Amino acid sequence: MKTTRLGLLSALLIGSFSCTQVFEEDENSIPAHEPKANMEMQVTTHDGAPFTTDESSNKRYYDSPGGPVMMQAFYWDVPAGGTWWNTVKGKLNNWSNQGIGSIWLPPASKAQNGPFSMGYDPMDYFDFGDYNQNGSTETRFGSGAELRSLIGEAHNQNMQVYADIVINHNSGGQLEANPYTGTDTWTKFQPASGKFNRTYNDFHPNLDANNDEGIFGGYPDLSHVKGYVQDWLWKSNESVGKYYKNNVGFDGWRFDYVKGFGGWVVKDWVNHVGGFAVGEMWDGNANTLKWWVDNTDRKASAFDFAAYYAMDRAFDGNNLNELNSDMLWKKDSYRAVTFVANHDTDEIWRKNLAYAYILTHEGYPCVFYKDYEDWLDRGMMDNLLWIHKSYATGNTSILHVDNDEYIMRRNGYNGNPGLVLYINNSDNWQERWIPTNWSSQQIKDYTGHSNWEPWTQGGTWVKIQCPPRSYSIWSTK
């Protein structure tokens, strides 16, 4: 879904669950020989196994200890002219080397605005740049052959490819007399591919239903209760979902505007087609996000908008206590896709802190193309990606939170030591004693922001530091 962008970033920018029980001690309160009892709050969202997008997924795509990272491989208004698929293809080798395990592509099929469309006004689900209709043969992004070549190269690079699927609304139909509205409606679709022809019977209102959960932008609203629509979208062997997966090569789905239809639609889609699925449930309430995930029978993940808005309040609002807010990853880390920005919304300015947060915490992190390729320091991003794939393992213990400081520990898994993240949103260097899982071991800050390399005490306590408006990330040396 595309809405008005809520913020821009310059190139200079380098309810029921709350982790509120944290340490408040300082250096002087911890005798070297007698550490306090471990009182941190643990987030026990799963069994501590390295996160994967699906517990039964092919591990070919998830071969690093920290698990995969997704790249949103587009932004709003990417260059027109049919060059985008080749542009993305040229990035894949570097992305894969840095630890990107999957890419999310924009809606790939022909839309009403043809060569100018970003794809969110779908017209012919089976035209990937192969038919001369709506003003062009190619889509804005390129040809069908170029799309297939991109997906093939992604698989060669050990990456999955997710299709952006818009199934709530259609655009680009012809006028027809509609007996259910008593008016003429733009609901007659006769796409050049010859597949999934539609009439007023396939939209709301119809004989079976006046509406479903939501209508977007006044576009004709597909009626998912209709067997004909279900067959063409996901059930039949010729369906959109099966064609995308079996013919084109997509591995999963990003469902647009899932507020517009029931979670059962995504559940049924995945049951018939398979593949990873994530929904754009645009809601900042973690309980609502969990409710939607549960309504898909946990067949789908959701973008963690609760974490997104909490990070904005914490980092830009100068109050790290907001990181105690409820988030989807705290409720169901296997079904949370965390992010800092996307093609629709870009509110967070202190993105260095936000990426340090999502690339060290549980969940499935998604990196925004513009942030990685254009706006942020590439060395910083590659360092965080390396830390994620090397040490972001195990469940989470939040060690300390106050207005300016946030410290958490990933507890490690299967021999991997895990890590400690220290975020400092103040204007001065900060230091703090913390409990670790490492007894009598030397540790270091793998970001290079601190040159300390202290040894943990026999009782696992150690003092770490963090520069102002920045972060440090610690693990065993």
List Cα–Cα distances, 131 to 35, 83, 106, 233, in angstroms: 70, 17, 19, 20
What is the average pLDDT score of the chain? Answer: 89
| Mean pLDDT in residue range 347-364 | 98
Per the CB < 8 A criterion, the answer to whether 21 and 40 are in contact is: yes
With 70 as the cut, is the pLDDT of residue 221 above it? Answer: yes
Residue closest to 120 by CA, chosen among 168, 65, 51: 168
Residue 403 domain flag: no
Residue 316 domain flag: no
Task: Kindly name the residue from 280, 283, 322, 405 that is annotated as catalytic.
Answer: 280
Token output for 419? 């890590």
Does 40 participate in catalysis according to the annotation?
A: no
Q: Does 251 carry a binding-site annotation? A: no
| Mean pLDDT in residue range 352-360 | 98
Residue 77 domain flag: yes
Does 280 participate in catalysis according to the annotation?
A: yes
Residue closest to 326 by CA, chosen among 342, 308, 340, 344: 308
Which tens digits make up the pLDDT trace of 410-441? Answer: 999 999 999 999 999 999 999 999 999 999 99
Position 229, amino acid = V
Q: Percent of the chain having pLDDT more than 70?
A: 87
With 50 as the cut, is the pLDDT of residue 334 above it? Answer: yes
Q: Does 344 carry a binding-site annotation? A: no
pLDDT at 419: 98
Q: Does 312 carry a binding-site annotation? A: no
Residue 392 domain flag: no
Domains in the chain, number: 1
List Cα–Cα distances, 193 to 126, 133, 139, 378, in angstroms: 6, 10, 14, 42
Q: What's the CA gap between 10 and 376, in Å, rounded?
A: 9
Per the CB < 8 A criterion, the answer to whether 340 and 351 are in contact is: yes
Residue 6 domain flag: no
| Mean pLDDT in residue range 17-30 | 34
Residue 427 domain flag: no
Which tens digits make up the pLDDT trace of 126-161? Answer: 999 999 999 999 999 999 999 999 999 999 999 999
| Mean pLDDT in residue range 237-265 | 97
Residue 195 domain flag: yes
With 50 as the cut, is the pLDDT of residue 69 above it? Answer: yes
pLDDT at 133: 97
* Helix, strand or coil, per DSSP, at residue 87: helix
Burial string for 152-174 (b: 16+ CB within 10 Å, else e) reads ebbbebbbbbbbbbbbbbbbbbe
- The CATH code of the domain that includes 231 is 3.20.20.80
Q: What's the CA gap between 405 and 427, in Å, rounded?
A: 11
Residue 63, domain extent? 51-303
pLDDT at 62: 53
With 60 as the cut, is the pLDDT of residue 118 above it? Answer: yes
Residue 222 DSSP label: B
With 90 as the cut, is the pLDDT of residue 186 above it? Answer: yes
Residue 141 domain flag: yes
Task: Kindly name the residue from 146, 256, 268, 405 that is annotated as catalytic.
Answer: 256
